[in-house]
Structure 1
Amino acid sequence: MSRIGLKPITIPTGVEVKINDNNLVEVKGPKGTLKEQLNPAMIIKIEDNEITVNRPTENKRHKSLHGLTRTLIANMIEGVTEGYSKTLEIEGTGYRAQKQGKKLILNLGYSHPIEMEDPEGIEVEVPQQNKIIVKGIEKQKVGNYAAVIRSQREPEPYKGKGVKYQGEIIRRKVGKTGK
């Protein structure tokens, strides 16, 4: 029994949802439009401003797809209404970020600055030299691009230098002690 899959999704005002054949879901809202091809085995219905997802059988594959399908639709609706954002913090002497047009330039202690082009549908803001905000309407793209930025210099456990998510706790190690 999927508890998440059984919950109905309410469609907020200003959001238009279309379900075409083979479960191609299209969601239009104030922030943009999202399309996604979901598994054709799942039964998706729109009734009285609510979306319900049902599974055709009780087999293991359909049970696992039930909650996933419902969550993907809910994420699409939340994306076109509110959008998603991830905040990254940069720690370290001389480490900083800056924005030039569509490029994000990172100085992370290497011999050269790292230039990253913003992907389509993703907006990057740099309010301070040590803070990066990644925004977009697709949850997966926002999280993936934030992870790519973090992977340029992951936080190390001794001094905590590097790029980390806001609120992320880095487990610190004790360094060598002299005699």
Structure 2
Amino acid sequence: MSRIGNKVVELPAGVSFEQNAGVVTVKGPKGELSRALSSDITIEQDGTTVTFTRPNDTKEMKTIHGTTRALFNNMVEGVSAGFSKKLQMIGVGYRAQLQGKKLVLSVGKSHPDEVEAPEGITFEVNNNTEITVSGISKEVVGETAAYIRSLRSPEPYKGKGIRYEGEYVRRKEGKTGK
């Protein structure tokens, strides 16, 4: 049995959803998200709780059951509270600046890198070396943070680069290490 799919999703105050032809739209205080979910899984609302049921117990249905419930839960959480990822820049001269909705990064290249904020994403820069990416879609927040990190991934010798907050970078010893 899918343990994730069997969990009930609680709708917070101010959050509602509707489904039309396989497309589920969730509305809340932070915005609105729409996504095409599997039409094989039935979604039932009872007051403030939403349950998901599958037609049979095949392996494919079990995986779709859990995935559908997880996607729906992320949509509900996004429109009610939102998501954010924090990035740290470690290195001499590395800094970030905001120019309108554009994030300008100086990460040891001959030119600054500019990152445009996708729709629904906001950037915050704290003390020039900490970046916060926030928005209502967990998927877009994660993709944007991963793209920013890819501009200068942490290198294994000194650990310089852009990393997620709390990320551990395994260091190499170098030529003289034993």
TM-score range, shorter chain: over 0.9
For residues 48 and 128 of structure 2, what CA distance do their matches in structure 1 show? 44
Provide the secondary structure at the position in 1 that maps to 2:50: strand
Show the 5 A alignment for 1:72-87: 72-87=71-86
> 3-state SS of the aligned residue for 1:135?
strand
Looking at structure 1, the residues matched to 174 and 62 of structure 2 have their Cα atoms a distance apart, in angstroms, of 48
Q: Which amino acid aligns with 2:106?
A: N
Instruction: Output the TM-score relative to the length of structure 1.
Output: 0.96
SS at match of 1:44: strand
Distance 1:49 1:165 in 2: 35
Could you tell me how far apart the structure 1 residues matched to 2:19 and 2:44 are?
A: 8
Runs of 4+ aligned residues of structure 1 deviating over 4 Å after TM superposition are none
Question: Which residue identity lines up with residue 80 of structure 1 in the other structure?
Answer: V
Tell me the CA shift for residue 87 of structure 1.
Answer: 0.2
Structure 2 residue ranges without an equivalent (≥5):
none
Q: Residue 16 of structure 1: CA displacement?
A: 1.1
1:73-109 per-position Cα deviation (integer Å, ceiling 9, x unaligned): 1100100111000000000001111110011101110
Q: How much has 1:20 moved relative to structure 2?
A: 2.1
Tell me the equivalent position of 1:138.
137
Task: Quote the RMSD (CA, aligned, Å).
Answer: 1.1
Q: Which residue number in structure 2 is paired with residue 128 of structure 1?
A: 127
Alignment partner of 1:66 is 2:51: no
* Residue 116 (structure 2) aligns with: 117
Q: Percent identity?
A: 53
Give the counterpart letter for 2:17 in structure 1. V
Task: Give, in whole Å, the separation in 1 of the partners of 2:115 and 2:173.
Answer: 34
1:116-166 CA distances to partner (integer Å, 9 max, x unpaired)?
Answer: 111111001112211000000000000000000000000001000000000
Aligned length: 177
Consecutive unaligned residues of structure 1, counting only runs of 5 or more, are none
SS in structure 1 at match of 2:68: helix
Q: Which amino acid aligns with 1:148?
A: Y
Separation (CA, whole Å) in 1 of partners of 2:130 and 2:98: 11
The match for 1:19 is 19
SS at match of 1:88: strand
Deviation at 1:58, TM superposition (A): 1.2
Superposed counterparts of 1:28-177, under 5 Å = 28-177=27-176
Residue 2 of structure 1 corresponds to 2
